[in-house]
Structure 1
Amino acid sequence: MKNTRRNFLKVSSLAGISLTQGNWPITASHTDPTLSQNPIRIMNTTDQDLSIIGQYGPWATAQMQKNLPSFSFRKKEWKDLGEWKKAARNQVMQRMAIPDLGGLPPVKANKKYTYDGLQIEELSWQLPYGRPTEAILLKPQNAQGRLPAILAFHDHGGNKYFGTQKITRIPSQNPLMAEHQKLYYSGLAWANEIAKQGYVVLVADAFDFASRRIMLQDVPASMRNGLTDPEPSNADGIEKYNQWAGDHEHILSKSLLSAGTTWPGVFFAEDRKALDILCARTDVDASRVGCGGLSGGGLRTVLMAGLDERIKCAVCVGFMTTWKDFILNKSYTHTWMSYIPLLPTELDFPEILGLRTPLPSLVLNDMEDDLFTLLEMKQADQILTEVYKKANAADRFKTSFYPGPHKFDAKMQAEAFEWFGKWLKG
């Protein structure tokens, strides 16, 4: 089963995808030799001028491209940066319908130990709904005083069974996560690596992942497809659960919309609670906090960094494009948790991150990333460049393009760590 698990990771671990719903295709790395034997199809590269929704594509795009989005800072009507940020941020938060999670929850330290040159705490806290959120905190073993901090976001990866372990390394690491890190992170646990550079790093399970995932035992038996919740040692059971969880995404998203909220809103609410917990710690300098992550973690970076100015430095990896790219080319490669109703006529996707201007932002893209088109990744770069330039903060924004498929490899991590160091330590 080892090869089967590896192939599953390659096909399903593109963070931000929604696993097979009906007959829609899933993207995967073009370098995967198993694709010729897999019923999953990729859009032919010769179909570049066609839309994934046929002749409706140009019409749909025109709905949000007749003029610049109404809250775009690129419009000449918006002249004052502060006024624009206040108005646009309020609009985004209204569209996201962010739920109120109350005050700071009590935090329980379940384990404390040293490992990998780090002092590690396994934490949990109870939100008003669901099982307790589990998190891992890391900092240098002999650290003293208040340190700069990073709120590190794990990826989606088509893998709801795991969360924090995707980007950390602890003694109880699941072997499947070693494969995951090899595939997307050059075999590195990037949260550990940056903690070693003098940061307090907090990684919490996102909504619908790991400790926050939907358990099979909690849904009607008719929806379980004969499955039961797998143990961590049951690789085949985990694979089947992840397939079920991918198919279940549209149900969860529709239910959230019916409840008057959105998946991005719940994401942000829970991540903001983790930020509250991080900033409240006595070993953290709350004036020097950054955030970052790959793909699904990049999406969460866009939301958190754009909407909460406690984030002084942001690194978005593998999740930057335009709404046009989703409409015409790539909505089928992404999870239901990516979309905010009505917002595209008011802000283009990159401009959500641009709401943090003039605070520093780094965007890292992969040129052969199947989740986006290179053309629209470059267009997103142009949009953010214009926003930062208009705010007289051009030196605080940077985009880098790396060869290869969807990943956050060692070279990209090195640039990210340098950026964090420049703005949180320098």
Structure 2
Amino acid sequence: MNNQQELNLIGSYGPWAKSLNLEKLPSHSFRNPGITDLDTWRTSTRKLVSERMGAVELGSIPKVTVHRSGIYEGVSFEEISYQLPSGNPTKAVILKPENAKGKLPAILGLHCHGGNKFLGLDKISRTRADLPSYIVDHHDTYYEGRAWANEAAKLGYVVMVHDAFAFGSRRVMLEDVPESIRQGITDFSLDTEEKINAYNSWASNHEHILAKSLFCAGTSWPAVFLAEDQMALSILAAREDVDDTKLGCAGLSGGGLRTVMLGGLDPRISCAVAVGFMTTWTDLLLYKSYTHTWMSYVPILPKELDFPEILSLRAPLPTLVLNDIEDNLFTLSEMKKADQILGEVYAKAKATDRYRCTFHPGPHKFDKAMQEEAFAWFDQWLKA
């Protein structure tokens, strides 16, 4: 190895791999001087990204069943479920202010990954006081003790949180896979924190199998995430208490990734807040792919768009990116490059007032200060 070469995840192959596509302006970047029509660019490039992902269709909006409703700490809630074409029914929760009247702006809350596939919507929402310690710990670790979806609902929003593909009610069930890969764990034994941790370890090790299997089906994890998030958005938008012209989405980490995809590719999202998931393909190639799951990658796409440019497909619609300065999932210099890229796109779209990126002190999280900034951004653009 050349002594002057910077260490990277794939050694001497790193500079060569970067040189293939990442040292020039991507072919479909709006930053290209030859691309001038924003609407044409957005339409054609969204189609391209969908093709690269291997987009899937889930059909019409399914019937929604309400299982439980009530009031918790000033928030009216409905615990619901609906059946998608595959897997167990998706569980979700609808939150809004107690005694709310009329149509309200709405937010699709996208829960994080957090190395925990046993949990889904419970990571950011709450409908009861008696929570297991492992849920309380999750709130404390990533959200400064808050169920942020509830806090958003209190401010005058209808908030929906659903279990994402492979999480919570949508997780891969052990009884449905060959015994040879179950590692002695069963679905019916997940009744203690120790056993839940064992499931989460198994699910982490199963990610590469699930991702490769989806590739073999002609699709990808981001495509399935997007399809299920779009279905949740359709269910939310169809509610009588929702103003479907004022829809937002937000999430941390894996929820930030899903915000990038949903906010960038679905024009119904009027306002997006991506938290703790913004960097460049170069960062993932050379330094940080090992800190992420298989849920992030779209083959071939880096030739055509840098990672932040997926989110930039929503320009000129309002977009807020929140980063943590000591976030060990990303390289700070590449996070700043991503901010520069998004800033350039919004400047060219003549919408600099509708893009903001801020860097907060601390590790990977969505704490109270960041939540308050996100809520203020939603208030500015969804309540105007």
Q: CA deviation at 1:173?
A: 3.0
Q: Does structure 2 conserve the Cα–Cα contact (< 8 Å) formed by 1:230 and 1:237?
A: no
SS state of the match for residue 179, structure 1? helix
Aligned partner (choices 215, 221, 239) of residue 179 of structure 2: 221
Question: Is residue 369 of structure 2 the alignment partner of residue 404 of structure 1?
Answer: no
Aligned partner (choices 106, 115, 118) of residue 75 of structure 2: 118
SS state of the match for residue 82, structure 1? helix
Aligned partner (choices 73, 81, 90) of residue 47 of structure 2: 90
Task: Name the residue aligned to 1:330.
Answer: 288
Aligned partner (choices 248, 256, 260) of residue 298 of structure 1: 256
Q: Does structure 1 conserve the Cα–Cα contact (< 8 Å) formed by 2:22 and 2:302?
A: no
- Between the aligned partners of 2:251 and 2:309, the Cα distance in structure 1 is 18
Matches for 1:245-394 after TM superposition, within 5 Å? 245-394=203-352
SS state of the match for residue 355, structure 1? helix
Q: CA deviation at 1:105?
A: 0.5
SS state of the match for residue 316, structure 1? strand
Q: Does structure 2 conserve the Cα–Cα contact (< 8 Å) formed by 1:230 and 1:238?
A: no
Q: Does structure 1 conserve the Cα–Cα contact (< 8 Å) formed by 2:292 and 2:329?
A: yes
Aligned partner (choices 15, 31, 41) of residue 74 of structure 1: 31
Task: Name the residue aligned to 1:43.
Answer: none
Q: CA deviation at 1:66?
A: 4.1
Q: CA deviation at 1:49?
A: 2.5
Matches for 1:9-20 after TM superposition, within 5 Å? none
- Matched residue type, 1:63: L
- Between the aligned partners of 1:244 and 1:210, the Cα distance in structure 2 is 14
Q: Does structure 2 conserve the Cα–Cα contact (< 8 Å) formed by 1:174 and 1:232?
A: no
How high is the sequence identity, in percent, across the aligned residues? 59
Task: Name the residue aligned to 2:166.
Answer: 208
- Between the aligned partners of 2:353 and 2:131, the Cα distance in structure 1 is 40
- Between the aligned partners of 2:48 and 2:198, the Cα distance in structure 1 is 39
Q: CA deviation digits over 1:174-210, x for unaligned, max 9?
A: 3211000101101000000010000000000000001
- Matched residue type, 1:332: Y
Q: CA deviation digits over 1:223-282, x for unaligned, max 9?
A: 111111255641000000000000000000000000111000000000000000000000
Normalising by structure 1, what TM-score?
A: 0.88
**Unpaired segments ≥5 residues, structure 2:** none
Q: Does structure 2 conserve the Cα–Cα contact (< 8 Å) formed by 1:334 and 1:371?
A: yes
- Matched residue type, 1:300: R
Q: 1:411 to 1:201 in 2, by over 3 A?
A: same
Normalising by structure 2, what TM-score?
A: 0.97
Q: Does structure 2 conserve the Cα–Cα contact (< 8 Å) formed by 1:204 and 1:274?
A: yes
- Matched residue type, 1:99: V
Q: CA deviation digits over 1:59-114, x for unaligned, max 9?
A: 11111124211100000110110111011111101111111100111111111111
SS state of the match for residue 358, structure 2? strand
- Between the aligned partners of 1:202 and 1:48, the Cα distance in structure 2 is 48
RMSD of aligned C-alpha atoms? Answer: 1.2
- Matched residue type, 1:381: D
Task: Name the residue aligned to 1:190.
Answer: 148
Aligned partner (choices 164, 175, 178) of residue 133 of structure 2: 175
Task: Name the residue aligned to 1:37.
Answer: none
Q: CA deviation digits over 1:324-355, x for unaligned, max 9?
A: 00000000000001000000000000000000
- Between the aligned partners of 1:100 and 1:397, the Cα distance in structure 2 is 31
Q: Does structure 2 conserve the Cα–Cα contact (< 8 Å) formed by 1:230 and 1:241?
A: no
- Between the aligned partners of 1:173 and 1:297, the Cα distance in structure 2 is 22
Q: Does structure 2 conserve the Cα–Cα contact (< 8 Å) formed by 1:165 and 1:173?
A: no
- Between the aligned partners of 1:248 and 1:183, the Cα distance in structure 2 is 25
- Matched residue type, 1:227: I
Question: Is residue 123 of structure 2 the alignment partner of residue 166 of structure 1?
Answer: yes
Task: Name the residue aligned to 1:38.
Answer: none
SS state of the match for residue 49, structure 1? coil
SS state of the match for residue 165, structure 2? coil
Aligned residue pairs, count: 380
**Unpaired segments ≥5 residues, structure 1:** 1-46
Task: Name the residue aligned to 1:141.
Answer: 98
- Matched residue type, 2:370: M
- Between the aligned partners of 1:48 and 1:330, the Cα distance in structure 2 is 17
Q: CA deviation digits over 1:156-175, x for unaligned, max 9?
A: 00000000000011215332
Q: Does structure 1 conserve the Cα–Cα contact (< 8 Å) formed by 2:55 and 2:224?
A: yes
- Matched residue type, 1:217: E
SS state of the match for residue 398, structure 1? strand
- Between the aligned partners of 1:232 and 1:135, the Cα distance in structure 2 is 21
- Between the aligned partners of 1:175 and 1:202, the Cα distance in structure 2 is 23
SS state of the match for residue 144, structure 1? coil
Q: 1:231 to 1:417 in 2, by over 3 A?
A: farther
- Between the aligned partners of 1:275 and 1:231, the Cα distance in structure 2 is 33
